[in-house]
């Protein structure tokens, strides 16, 4: 195949993928920009809505907090405890993540010193949660998650084709130059090419990680197979007749003994007799909010069943863990997060400028023009 034919095919793919998915990609990008600083925004919103926690000596034990949560939902049989998030510091509340029968999240916040339930946020009433669900499932549940995942893959292809078509490969300076005093058509093209090249690599990574996450059950075995990473062991608690699960304080003691130099951030509660308790741990090198290490324990005996140490993961799991800083833009701290706000805004700019280019070509070309011709400016 000649280079011109390859370029023409690439141009057709780039144009029509952009027109087909540009609007939805813009929505996903805008919500992504909004979510870049979601941990800080959520902390601000909780403090604004319920007030700050004032340290008052020693905090209550995790067992007391667990009992308070259970008492608060005792008359709501359709609500289950999914996890308990420990306070980040002395001025933060405990957060219980509860799930109702419709699989919707309820966040309950508990004062760690008084045990007072200071407030709750339902998923449908939390703008950050709505933005998150719009971002990864378009507020359409499982079908929306599939569509958003496919959009991620098409965004990956769109970025690759855009890199191939970028005029800077022929003349580097021209590829980054915007002629602000040029004809509007030329100015529109210059904005498209410069914005596109600045965010292309981020689009490639964000699109691919988003696709893999939305098709997680299919992606994980493939990544493990390609990297020769062994499949994680299947683990389960062994129910003991007449015995209730042991106290969470005992669970944390055993988890701390198994991984002593890491901070406990998150406890995932077992809701089935054979379910295990997962204690998430954060080590100094971790960039993710809750850490990359986990201790899996039997809920009846407290036996440590499996340990995932973020410092010594097999290749496949390191790749999967890298999705978080790559997709959320936390890999270079505040600088990469600010850049990712720009990355999230750029699909809107690219969709509008691409739409304008398509409209100009429609106006000046007869209907039987070869659509495969490369863009001329």
Rounded CA-CA distance 224/73 in Å is: 40
Q: Would you give the end-to-end CA distance of the chain in angstroms?
A: 25
Rounded CA-CA distance 184/165 in Å is: 21
Of 166, 162, 53, the residue nearest 115 (C-alpha)? 53
Rounded CA-CA distance 94/115 in Å is: 9
Rounded CA-CA distance 254/256 in Å is: 5
State how beta strands 263-268 and 276-282 pair.
antiparallel
Per-residue pLDDT of 334-375, as tens digits, reads 999 999 999 999 999 999 999 999 998 887 765 544 444 444
Per-residue pLDDT of 36-49, as tens digits, reads 999 999 989 998 99
Q: What is the pLDDT of residue 363?
A: 77
Report yes or no: 277 and 299 within 8 Å, Cβ to Cβ: yes
Rounded CA-CA distance 250/22 in Å is: 52
Give, for all 377 residues of the chain, the pLDDT tens digit: 677 888 899 999 999 999 999 999 999 999 999 999 999 999 899 989 998 899 998 999 999 999 999 999 999 989 999 999 999 989 999 999 999 998 899 999 999 999 999 999 998 888 999 999 999 999 999 999 999 999 999 999 999 999 999 999 989 998 999 999 999 999 999 999 999 999 999 999 999 999 999 999 999 999 999 999 998 899 999 998 888 999 999 999 999 999 998 999 999 999 999 999 999 999 988 878 888 999 999 999 999 999 999 999 999 999 999 999 999 998 898 999 999 999 999 999 999 999 999 998 887 765 544 444 444 33
Rounded CA-CA distance 174/192 in Å is: 13
Give residue limits of the domains in the chain.
10-53+136-230+325-377, 60-131, 248-313
Rounded CA-CA distance 112/71 in Å is: 16
Rounded CA-CA distance 298/237 in Å is: 5
Neighbouring CB atoms inside 10 A of 362's CB total 10
Report yes or no: 136 and 327 within 8 Å, Cβ to Cβ: no
Neighbouring CB atoms inside 10 A of 254's CB total 18
Helix (H, G, I), strand (E, B) or coil at 315: helix
> What pTM value is reported for the model?
0.88
Please count the residues of the chain. 377
**Torsional sign, CA 253, 254, 259, 262:** negative
Kindly tell me the burial class for residue 21, based on how many C-beta atoms sit within 10 Å of its own C-beta (0-12, 13-18, 19 or more). Answer: buried
Beta-carbon contacts of 355 under 8 Å, excluding residues fewer than 6 positions away, are: 19, 22
pLDDT above 70: percentage of residues in the chain: 96
Cα dihedral: 326, 329, 335, 340 (round 10): 120
Report yes or no: 59 and 112 within 8 Å, Cβ to Cβ: yes
Report yes or no: 46 and 117 within 8 Å, Cβ to Cβ: no
């Amino acid at each position: 195949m000649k280079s011109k034919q390859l370029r023409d095919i690439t141009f057709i793919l780039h144009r029509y993928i952009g027109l087909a998915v540009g609007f939805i990609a813009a929505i996903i990008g805008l919500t992504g920009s909004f979510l870049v600083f979601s941990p800080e925004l959520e902390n601000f919103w909780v403090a604004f809505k319920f007030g700050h926690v004032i340290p008052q000596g020693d905090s209550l034990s995790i067992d007391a907090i667990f009992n308070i949560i259970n008492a608060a939902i005792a008359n709501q049989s359709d609500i289950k405890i999914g996890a308990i998030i420990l306070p980040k510091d002395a001025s933060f509340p405990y957060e219980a993540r509860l799930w109702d029968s419709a699989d919707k999240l309820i966040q309950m916040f508990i004062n760690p010193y008084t045990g007072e339930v200071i407030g709750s946020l339902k998923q449908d009433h939390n703008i950050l949660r709505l933005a998150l669900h719009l971002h990864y499932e378009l507020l359409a549940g499982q079908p929306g998650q599939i569509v958003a995942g496919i959009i991620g893959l098409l965004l990956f292809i769109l970025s690759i084709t855009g890199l191939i078509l970028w005029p800077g490969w022929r003349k580097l300076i021209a590829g980054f130059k915007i002629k602000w005093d040029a004809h509007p058509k030329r100015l529109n093209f210059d904005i498209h090419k410069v914005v596109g090249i600045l965010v292309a690599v981020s689009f490639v990574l964000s699109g691919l990680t988003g696709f893999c996450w939305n098709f997680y059950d299919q992606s994980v075995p493939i990544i493990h197979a390609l990297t020769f990473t062994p499949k994680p062991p299947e683990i389960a608690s062994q129910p003991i007749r007449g015995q209730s699960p042991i106290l969470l304080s005992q669970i944390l003691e055993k988890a701390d003994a198994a991984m002593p130099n890491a901070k406990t951030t998150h406890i995932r509660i077992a809701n089935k007799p054979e379910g295990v308790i997962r204690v998430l741990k954060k080590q100094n090198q971790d960039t993710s909010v809750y850490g990359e290490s986990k201790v899996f324990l039997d809920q009846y005996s407290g036996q440590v069943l499996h340990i995932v140490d973020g410092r010594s993961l097999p290749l496949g799991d390191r790749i999967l863990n890298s999705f978080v800083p790559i997709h959320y833009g936390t890999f270079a701290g505040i600088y990469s997060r600010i850049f990712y706000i720009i990355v999230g805004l750029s699909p809107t700019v690219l969709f509008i400028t691409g739409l304008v280019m398509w409209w100009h070509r429609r106006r000046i070309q007869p209907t039987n023009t070869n659509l495969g011709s490369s863009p001329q400016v």
